[in-house]
Structure 1
Amino acid sequence: MYTHAGAGWSIRAFTRNDRIACLRIFRDCLRAFPWRGDWQGYLPVLQNAFANARVLVAEEPSAGVIGFLTLNMTTGYVDHLFVHADWRLCGVGRGLLDVAQSEAGKSLTLDVDAQNIGARKAYEHMGWQVVADARPLRPGQQVRLISP
């Protein structure tokens, strides 16, 4: 589907065999966001996305699954985008978003935690723009972004 020749990772469709690796990445990422609370509370939503959304995974041959994205193909909404901490700033998130946008054939939207400054800066660097943003931002609040 997509291969980053320089970095050695590729993006492909999710299979049932990817479930455990994606859940580990999800768990580890949410543990880094203490304002989110217990990561297990979010599992039903993720399980539903695995069953009903378009799911893409980024994989590196020696590391296995290094990131994933879930996409509602009808609306272009990205429900989940998580990249293993060791693979951030390597273009994995951008690659997943580019493939998702190409498959959806339209601009994408997503919500990001207002407190997740690193992710917000990454999206802005890629040209995403704020669509909905209440001021002042409070803990736990989300900001809606749209892709270029």
Structure 2
Amino acid sequence: MALLLHQGAGWKIRPYARADNVSVETLFLDCLDAFPWRSGPVDELIRLRQTLRLSRCIVAEEPHAGVIGFLTLKRKSSYVPHLFVAEDWRLCGVGSGLLEVARDLARAPLSLDVDDQNALAMKAYLAMGWTEKVDTSTRPGQRRLTGP
């Protein structure tokens, strides 16, 4: 079941399935290479696995490339713990598509945290209309953003 189709680019967004585990974890670890300031991959992978068990997850998939992005969502709080898009698929609408579907699932504006050092992500969110919010629960080195 597709939750969103992008006919021009050929990708779709659908619910996560257990069969996506390896693809999601591989994509996650590939993306972590760009974040050397984060804790080690083992700790981050443990955190991802816990989130996958306790949250809703959606994936973006392209028929030839497989899983090209994913997002985890804590529906009750409308919080997005993870949003990752494969490097080759950035700037193709995958991230904004995942956020659009998550907002529909949460039925509320979303919030997420961005690493201070992730200037490209911060720039992208601000361009999409997200705003920075002061939040004392945000981990050190991160900024809380609220979606439009």
For 1:74, the equivalent position in structure 2 comes to 76
For 1:31 and 1:86, how far apart are their aligned partners in 2? 14
CA root-mean-square deviation: 1.3
The answer for the alignment partner of 2:64 in structure 1 is 62
SS at match of 1:127: coil
- 1:50 is displaced (CA, Å) by 1.1
Aligned to 1:147: 147
SS at match of 1:36: coil
Q: 1:29: how far off?
A: 0.7
- Deviation of the 1:27 alpha carbon: 0.3
Please give the alpha-carbon distance, in whole angstroms, between the structure 1 residues aligned to 2:29 and 2:84: 10
Deviant stretches of 4+, over 3 Å: none
- Structure 1 unaligned blocks of 5 or more: 135-139
Write the distance in 2 (CA, Å) between the matches of 1:15 and 1:58. Answer: 12
Instruction: Give percent identity, aligned residues only.
Output: 52
Counterpart residue number, 1:14:
16
Equivalent of residue 125 in structure 2, options 123, 128, 133: 123
Instruction: Find the aligned partners of 1:132 and 1:3 in 2 and give their Cα distance.
Output: 34
The residue that corresponds to 2:41 in the other structure is 39
CA shift, 1:48, in A, is 1.1
2:100 paired residue number: 98
Look up the match of 2:5.
3
The alignment's TM-score, normalised by the length of structure 2, stands at 0.93
Structure 1 residue 37, shift from structure 2 partner: 3.5
Partner of 2:85: 83
Displacement, 1:38?
A: 1.4
